[in-house]
Structure 1
Amino acid sequence: MSAVPAGAILHSPSMGSLDPQVIVLATLAASLVLFVTDAVRYDAVAIGVVLVLAGTGVLNYEEAFASFAAPAVVLVASMYAFAAAVSRAGITEGICNRMFRKKESESEGKLTFKVVLVTGLMSSVLSNAAVVATMIPVLGSLSRRLQIPASRLLMPMAFGSLLGGMLTVIGTSKNIAVNGAIERLGAEPFGLFDFSLFGFILLIIGGLYFLGPGRLLLPRGRVDTTLSEHYRVPEFLTEVLVEPGSTLINRPVFEIDVFERFDIKLLGLIRAGGEKVMAPGPYNRIRTDDVLMLQGEPNSIVRMRVELGLRQRHSVEVGDIKLTSDDVQLVEGVVPATSTLVGATIRSADFRDKTGVNCLAISQHGDLQLRQITEIPLQVGDTLLLQGHAHDLHRLTESRELIVLGEHHAPDLGRNALITGLVLAVVLLLGASKLVHISVAALGGAVSLVLLRTIRPDDVRRSIDWSVLILIGGMLALGRAFQNHGLDTLVAKWMSGISGDIQNPILIIGMLFTVSLALTQVINHLAAAVIMTPVAFSLATELGISDRACFMAVLTGAEFAFMSPVAHQANAMIMGPGDYKYRDFLKCGTPLSVLLVIVGTILIPLIWPLR
């Protein structure tokens, strides 16, 4: 049974007469509500948790803030640096392009199995979000080349990245956080490859699922429709004629504030002689008899026409060809987890001025947003329809602010790829041998990458998802409070009471599996795992069974974020490019979750005996 450390309950004037257990439970309940409703960002919730625990004296300030400097936080930050270096060096892209050269005799099912397997293996050492960000454009290009709907490939890829996280301790930030919580509980933490065999079995089963019944449940998305048709651009596109005497004549685009005032985009100019200037730059001038291709709300365009005395033309024909030229492309861009655009709007981010690219439409959670798109706060996984010059789109791709889905060409592997691979191998070797703590090895490896100039310090800073680090720190603090005040023991007794006279402890493993999986679908998977870890430890102590088996049930159950697009960033990032709906995750993810829970419940006691 987990003991309450002496002196752990630190009374202070700010805490008054409130029971610390009540405060912790209330904090946990409030956190769960905020996670489920998504009313507040995860990192803001985590900071609020720490402030409440420290401010009420439930934890002293050293305990509360120490979680932000825990080895788990350092290790996760270091692995983000490795993911950025691997991406910059083109290693993952090179592997993918070589693995996914489909042969004529290879079926779609075999290709899908290969996608799951390759993605899982890469996710064993790199963050899920980084692997998914790399794979989306690769599979998007493969989808167009082979005329296979992207929806048939992206969901297996995302699920494969989640399963791959169970191959090593560093596979996901959740694994690292749970291992840190286990270490703090006084139990033996997992070694780097302790559950690799178990994870590989789950990965193979996941691949076979999509090779067989799972493939039948995947939706069939668009293949033949153009981007402009899919995003319904024609509904908001108008052509107006600049007649002699207009105040727009001979003015450069940047001087015409009416476009911004009425929230209208100038997508192109058609000169009197038929010359097309698509995605005109700030210094392009308006001429007499130019036809302006405008996108905006119909009412806004009418008001602008009245103010400027412009005449509408009714010959507009909209298609990808009309909106593009030799140098101007129409592409999609996905908002990744590490983008500074998350939480911002197109207007507040000065997107057009900073990138030179027009945003024509937004797909958010599978729903097209066509009205007032400049005022919509962007979220992870939002897909933007972009129009811009090739060099501007290339610069946007290099900035990593968006995952641009255009024609994909793998970079040549060179010196940086070799150095990054060698440094990563050394870190894994040191971590496996336990010569030094894995967090020390990973931090040393990240510093080496910077010193060897394979990645710049600014790139490291931009690659880190700081919200995840803050979330880990906050949840570790909540887990510490949970344990310090005996709540883990109370919950364990409650769960063992529910199980009644169950003599078979395998059912207890199934219960931990199910509770962790259920929490993961509605709150962040990392938070679910860290909250359940001390409960699993106390339950194992209460029932006299192996804590390793109980930890694995929590660790694995929290990885099965298959049934909701908001359960994991990997799911959110594919929703737009794959044209998925919420029901698609429920339809494909539920049978896979049930299958893997059954398999895991059987395998865990075989690999980690309960007695």
Structure 2
Amino acid sequence: MTAATITLLILAAAAVLFVTEVIPLAVTAMSVAVVLTLTGVLDAKAAFSGLMDSNVILFAGMFVVGQALFETGVATKLGNSVVKIAGKSEKALLAAVMIVAAGLSSVLSNTGTTAVLMPVTISIAAAAGFSRGKLLMPLALAAGLGGMITLVGTPPNLVVKGAIEKAGLGTFGFFEFGLIGIPLTIAGIIYMLTIGYKLIPDRGVDQEEVAAAVKAEAGNKTANSTKQMISILVMIGTVLAMIFEKQLGVGLHVSATIGALVLVITGVMTDKQAYRAIDWTTIFLFAGMLPLAQALDKTGAGKMIADVVIGLIGKNASPYVITAGLFLLACSLTQFMSNTASTALLAPIGIAIAKGLGADPRAVLMAIAIAASCAFATPVGTPPNTLVLGPGNYKFMDYVKVGTPLIVVMFVVSVALIPMIWPFFK
């Protein structure tokens, strides 16, 4: 059996395990690294090189920096202040919730943003006399949209950055994702204020649950003003350092690490809180799947997949057809599996397809990353969707009804803009 065939079998097995989650995602990813070593496709150093990747360090650092805003109560105070400005208008409140969620999730964890704003949204909806079900799904969807705006907004963005750098084909800037992420977020908010708003179910809820959630929030995330100020300054400083990465000559992962260290040294967070802040599933998932990309390239397996896809699309296909095909593939996968996993699976294949067509891989990778973030049509597609399922009293089909048209909106905007912003052929 050739190394390419073995690599393809490992890829297929990983895809099945990611979708079914028979075993934890992180275990699947690290198993890929182990099997690549045992089968001789890669040596041990190459197979476990993902653990030393700068993006893994970046992930860990930003988990800590972002969590500090939650631990000190800064994110909650910000959410309360901005949401209350909306007053008694339900649509104004919906818009405010979505704007705040999108803004926070552009630099913080989508899951953390939703978790912090959910009890705030519930309490405001209760005070205004509105059904929380009308506001919680927009909150979760906005958290997903906001993640598309910056490099650190969501793991898929960092995954494609790592993939293109690993291939020696350039990189993506911190705010480069905003060129497509901001238009998509605006389009998503407009959709939710119009068509989406009408599709969201308006069901009664258990008021005891509301009171419990509000009480839990009131007794959570307390800290003194000094810690809050330090956490804000560290976040601002870290983001600014990332924006001016080239001018400063300091890598993104170094800036994130410095920010995390400052928070622990100043006592804003304890070392144990910092450890807990890191989503180790994301870390090991990313680290375990990076070597598979290397194996796909080294053995020629990626080129084999690319040749099949190109054969279906056609070598003379327009950039819009290529974008549409890859978007639909990534978007379909991400409804039932981790967006990080689906991106990690498709990024190396996307690069191979771009090379086969003689196209710029940046456009291909951007389409994959954006599509992987469009996990709007199921409650299991992304953690924010799952978080609001119970409190919003939603059913599985509610996500299908509201999320599917939103995906269509994302698809149309992406296919129209991505080839214009990142031309396939120069």
- In structure 2, C-alpha distance between the alignment counterparts of 1:46 and 1:585, rounded to whole Å: 28
1:217 aligns with 2:199: yes
Q: Deviations over 1:469-520 (max 9, x none)?
A: 1111111122222222112212221111111365422111111111111111
Match of 2:105 in 1: 123
Q: Are 1:141 and 1:407, in contact at CA under 8 Å, matched by a contact in 2?
A: no
Shift of 1:110: 2.1
Shift in CA distance, 129/168, structure 1 to aligned 2, threshold 3 Å: same
Match of 2:55 in 1: 72
Instruction: After TM superposition, list the pairs within 5 Å mapping 1:170-569 onto structure 2.
Output: 170-223=152-205, 225-227=206-208, 331=212, 405=216, 414-434=225-245, 435-500=249-314, 502-569=316-383
1:46 aligns with 2:29: yes
Q: Residue 327 of structure 2 aligns to which amino acid in structure 1?
A: F
Normalization by structure 2: what TM-score? 0.94
Counterpart secondary structure, 1:171: coil
The count of residues paired between Structure 1 and Structure 2 equals 422
- In structure 1, C-alpha distance between the alignment counterparts of 2:9 and 2:280, rounded to whole Å: 26
Shift of 1:156: 0.8
- In structure 2, C-alpha distance between the alignment counterparts of 1:587 and 1:128, rounded to whole Å: 22
- In structure 2, C-alpha distance between the alignment counterparts of 1:109 and 1:450, rounded to whole Å: 41
Q: Residue 448 of structure 1 aligns to which amino acid in structure 2?
A: V
- In structure 2, C-alpha distance between the alignment counterparts of 1:519 and 1:57, rounded to whole Å: 29
Shift in CA distance, 501/443, structure 1 to aligned 2, threshold 3 Å: closer
**Which of 1 and 2 has greater Rg?**
1
Instruction: After TM superposition, list the pairs within 5 Å mapping 1:87-166 onto structure 2.
Output: 87-101=70-84, 104=87, 106-166=88-148
Q: Deviations over 1:4-29 (max 9, x none)?
A: xxxxxxxxxxxxxx322222222222
- In structure 2, C-alpha distance between the alignment counterparts of 1:558 and 1:406, rounded to whole Å: 31
Shift of 1:417: 1.9
1:595 aligns with 2:406: no
Match of 1:570 in 2: 384
Identity in percent: 34
Which of 159-168 and 29-38 deviates more? 29-38
Shift of 1:101: 1.0
| Structure 2: runs of 5+ lacking an equivalent | none
Shift of 1:149: 2.0
Shift of 1:542: 1.7
- In structure 2, C-alpha distance between the alignment counterparts of 1:417 and 1:182, rounded to whole Å: 37
Shift of 1:609: 1.9
Q: Residue 437 of structure 1 aligns to which amino acid in structure 2?
A: G
Shift of 1:103: 5.0
Q: Deviations over 1:565-589 (max 9, x none)?
A: 1111121122121122111111111
Larger helix share, 1 or 2: 2
Q: Residue 539 of structure 1 aligns to which amino acid in structure 2?
A: I
| Partner of residue 58 from structure 1, selected from 41, 44, 47 | 41
Q: Residue 428 of structure 1 aligns to which amino acid in structure 2?
A: V
- In structure 2, C-alpha distance between the alignment counterparts of 1:412 and 1:474, rounded to whole Å: 37
Q: Deviations over 1:436-481 (max 9, x none)?
A: 1101111111111111111111110111121111111111122222
Shift of 1:47: 2.1
Shift of 1:143: 2.4
Shift in CA distance, 164/46, structure 1 to aligned 2, threshold 3 Å: same
Q: Residue 23 of structure 1 aligns to which amino acid in structure 2?
A: I
Q: Residue 71 of structure 2 aligns to which amino acid in structure 1?
A: R
Q: Deviations over 1:59-102 (max 9, x none)?
A: 11001111122111111111110122111221111111111115
Shift of 1:42: 0.8
- In structure 1, C-alpha distance between the alignment counterparts of 2:357 and 2:15, rounded to whole Å: 28
Structure 1 segments (4+ residues) deviating >4 Å: 403-413
Q: Residue 191 of structure 1 aligns to which amino acid in structure 2?
A: G
Shift in CA distance, 502/110, structure 1 to aligned 2, threshold 3 Å: farther
Q: Residue 319 of structure 2 aligns to which amino acid in structure 1?
A: P
Which of 443-452 and 420-429 deviates more? 420-429
Q: Deviations over 1:94-144 (max 9, x none)?
A: 11111111555x521221122111111111111111111111211121222
Q: Are 2:111 and 2:383, in contact at CA under 8 Å, matched by a contact in 1?
A: yes
| Structure 1: runs of 5+ lacking an equivalent | 1-17, 231-329, 333-402
Shift in CA distance, 60/411, structure 1 to aligned 2, threshold 3 Å: same
Counterpart secondary structure, 1:169: coil
Q: Are 2:179 and 2:421, in contact at CA under 8 Å, matched by a contact in 1?
A: no
1:35 aligns with 2:26: no
Q: Are 2:86 and 2:93, in contact at CA under 8 Å, matched by a contact in 1?
A: no
Q: Are 2:71 and 2:221, in contact at CA under 8 Å, matched by a contact in 1?
A: no
* Root-mean-square deviation over aligned CA pairs: 2.1
- In structure 2, C-alpha distance between the alignment counterparts of 1:501 and 1:47, rounded to whole Å: 35
Counterpart secondary structure, 2:352: helix
Shift in CA distance, 146/191, structure 1 to aligned 2, threshold 3 Å: same
- In structure 1, C-alpha distance between the alignment counterparts of 2:222 and 2:31, rounded to whole Å: 43
Q: Residue 27 of structure 2 aligns to which amino acid in structure 1?
A: A
Larger strand share, 1 or 2: 1
- In structure 1, C-alpha distance between the alignment counterparts of 2:291 and 2:315, rounded to whole Å: 34
Q: Are 1:575 and 1:581, in contact at CA under 8 Å, matched by a contact in 2?
A: yes
Shift in CA distance, 97/497, structure 1 to aligned 2, threshold 3 Å: same
Shift of 1:147: 2.5
Q: Residue 123 of structure 1 aligns to which amino acid in structure 2?
A: S
- In structure 2, C-alpha distance between the alignment counterparts of 1:194 and 1:440, rounded to whole Å: 20
Q: Deviations over 1:176-210 (max 9, x none)?
A: 12211211011111011112132111111111111
- In structure 2, C-alpha distance between the alignment counterparts of 1:208 and 1:27, rounded to whole Å: 42
Normalization by structure 1: what TM-score? 0.66
Shift in CA distance, 457/552, structure 1 to aligned 2, threshold 3 Å: same
Q: Residue 200 of structure 1 aligns to which amino acid in structure 2?
A: I
Shift in CA distance, 212/409, structure 1 to aligned 2, threshold 3 Å: farther
Q: Residue 136 of structure 1 aligns to which amino acid in structure 2?
A: M
Q: Are 2:231 and 2:263, in contact at CA under 8 Å, matched by a contact in 1?
A: yes
